Structure 1
Amino acid sequence: MIEWFTTVQVVVAVLAGLLCLVLGLAGRSPNDLSMGAVALVELLLLAQVVIALIAPAAGNPPSGSLPEFWIYLISAVILPAAGGFWALIERNRWSTVILGGVCLAIAVMVYRMGQIWFVQGA
């Protein structure tokens, strides 16, 4: 992992989550803005997958449990796709709120992945 990229991911996920929560609680159904924010979070997660594959070979191994890290990362990659699919099927304000919750959960998961990679001892 790259530390600054992890920070960017957490900030973007929190901002996307807050945006979706505000839009949903204001009564807006999923639209291009909310779905685009979730798509950006997903894109950053896919970039993180590539980074996580290359980093150990480049001399940046995790300090914690590699299987635990990958479980977090795979789960985080699945969440926006599942939440976005649900939001497209059931288009109401609560779907937008759920998208916000998904993004906030991803922010916590990416923060934890950073702890596993940089801080936690094996």
Structure 2
Amino acid sequence: MIVGLTWTLVAVAGLVGLIGVVAGLLKVAPNDLVLGGTALVELGLIVQVVVAIIAPFAGNEPTGDLLEFWIYLVTAVLMPPFAVIWGLVDRGRWATVILGVVGISIAIMVYRMHVIWTVQGA
């Protein structure tokens, strides 16, 4: 994994998550800021998938369990589209909170993927 990409994705997902939770608690319906931020997080996750495929061939092999890493990554990639669909179908404040919780969850998952890839002993 690329450390800069990891920390950028953690920061963006965390910020989008925080904005979503606060906006939802302030009774704001899903808007372009939260939905667009979630789409940006999804784009970052797709870049992460490409990096995870290429990195072992470039000599950057994971130190932890590769299956666990991919389960985290696939789950993280699937979460934003379902959250956005939920936000488009349910225009209530709780959909905004869900989008925020997804952002925070992805920030935590990306950090865990970083630990699996770089820190954890095999």
Note the C-alpha offset of 1:5: 0.8
C-alpha distance in 1, partners of 2:91/2:41? Answer: 20
Aligned pairs (5 A) from 1:1-122:
1-122=1-122
Distance in 2 of aligned mates of 1:68 and 1:97: 28
Q: Distance in 2 between matches of 1:11 and 1:33?
A: 16
1:25 shift after superposition: 1.0
Q: Secondary structure at the match of 1:8?
A: helix
| Residues in 2 aligned to 1:10 and 1:32: alpha-carbon distance in whole angstroms | 21
Q: Secondary structure at the match of 1:28?
A: coil
CA distance in 1, matches of 2:34, 2:72: 24
RMSD: 0.6
% identity of equivalent residues: 57
Instruction: Tell me by how many angstroms 1:22 deviates.
Output: 1.3
Q: What is the TM-score of this pair, normalised by structure 1?
A: 0.98
Q: How many residues align?
A: 122
Q: Which amino acid aligns with 1:78?
A: L
Unaligned runs of 5+ in 2: none
Runs of 4+ in 1 over 6 A off after TM superposition: none
Q: Secondary structure at the match of 1:71?
A: helix
Distance 2:47 2:4 in 1: 13
